[in-house]
Homo-oligomer: A and B are copies of this chain.
Amino acid sequence: MEKISDFTVRRLSSYYRILSDLEQKKVLTISSAKLAEFGGITSAQVRKDLSYFGNFGTRGLGYNVSELKNEITRILGLNQTWGMALFGAGSLGNALFFHQGFRDDGFFFRYLFDVDLGKIGTKWGNLEILAVDKAKEVLKRDPVDIGVITTPKEAAQDIVDLAVEVGIKGILNFAPRELVVPEGVSLRNVNLAVALESLSFSLSI
């Protein structure tokens, strides 16, 4: 399982979304060709991706939509809930906090931290923004799975070191800088400019 590439996982996310849609529309089965068409990839790729995880299809009938969706839900770890701490209660953090899609997937912000005295003590929804100085104490007592980093880039590595120290195993980084994490901690970087650069590339040719 360790060898699955991030690109494969991204495709699994895509299948998950397609299958969720189909399930809502009461579609019962789907062929790898059709799944490939929805995902914009080849059916050989679909079969290869799914073959990593076992044998889901029935020759000639395709995949059972609900079964395959449940299996991918399990593979992606979406059959459980994940607790998150947000570091950096700025406008991006706010947007992520209120993003319904995270909650639908089982990702919940349980702590909000900032350094700004004007923000500390105020609330987003029912959750109070805490001083980052308290983070170590709070998160050692009540651990979370994932740290979401929306601090300025200068602060990001210190925050990640803190997150690692309290035992957080997954980091989602929105700060535009390369971060270092020890082995055993997973890091994903999201750069919002990349999709725009892909557009400007298209518009330039």
The 10 A-B pairs of least Cβ separation, nearest first, read A77-B204, A77-B200, A186-B202, A92-B95, A91-B95, A95-B95, A170-B199, A1-B205, A188-B195, A13-B194
Interface digits, A165-190 against B, CB 8 Å rule (1 contact, 0 not)? 00001111000100000000010101
Q: Is the CB of A199 within 8 A of B146?
A: yes
Q: Which of B2, B90, B146, B191 is A196 in contact with, Cβ under 8 Å? A: B146
A28 located at the interface, meaning its Cβ lies under 8 Å from any Cβ of chain B in the complex: no
Q: Is the CB of A102 within 8 A of B192?
A: yes
Q: Which of A17, A194, A196 has the most CB of B within 10 A?
A: A196
- List residues of chain A with CB under 8 Å of any chain B CB: 1-2, 4, 6-7, 9-10, 12-13, 16-17, 75-78, 80, 82, 90-92, 94-96, 98-99, 101-102, 105-107, 145-146, 169-172, 176, 186, 188, 190-205
Question: What B residues does A204 contact at CB under 8 A?
Answer: 75-77, 80
Q: Is the CB of A201 within 8 A of B99?
A: no
Question: What B residues does A171 contact at CB under 8 A?
Answer: 199
Q: Is the CB of A2 within 8 A of B205?
A: yes
Q: Copies of this chain, how many?
A: 2
Question: What B residues does A101 contact at CB under 8 A?
Answer: 176, 191-193
Known: A7-B7, A96-B192. 14 other contacts (CB 8 A): A10-B194, A13-B191, A17-B176, A17-B191, A77-B200, A78-B200, A82-B203, A92-B95, A92-B99, A105-B193, A145-B203, A146-B199, A186-B199, A186-B203
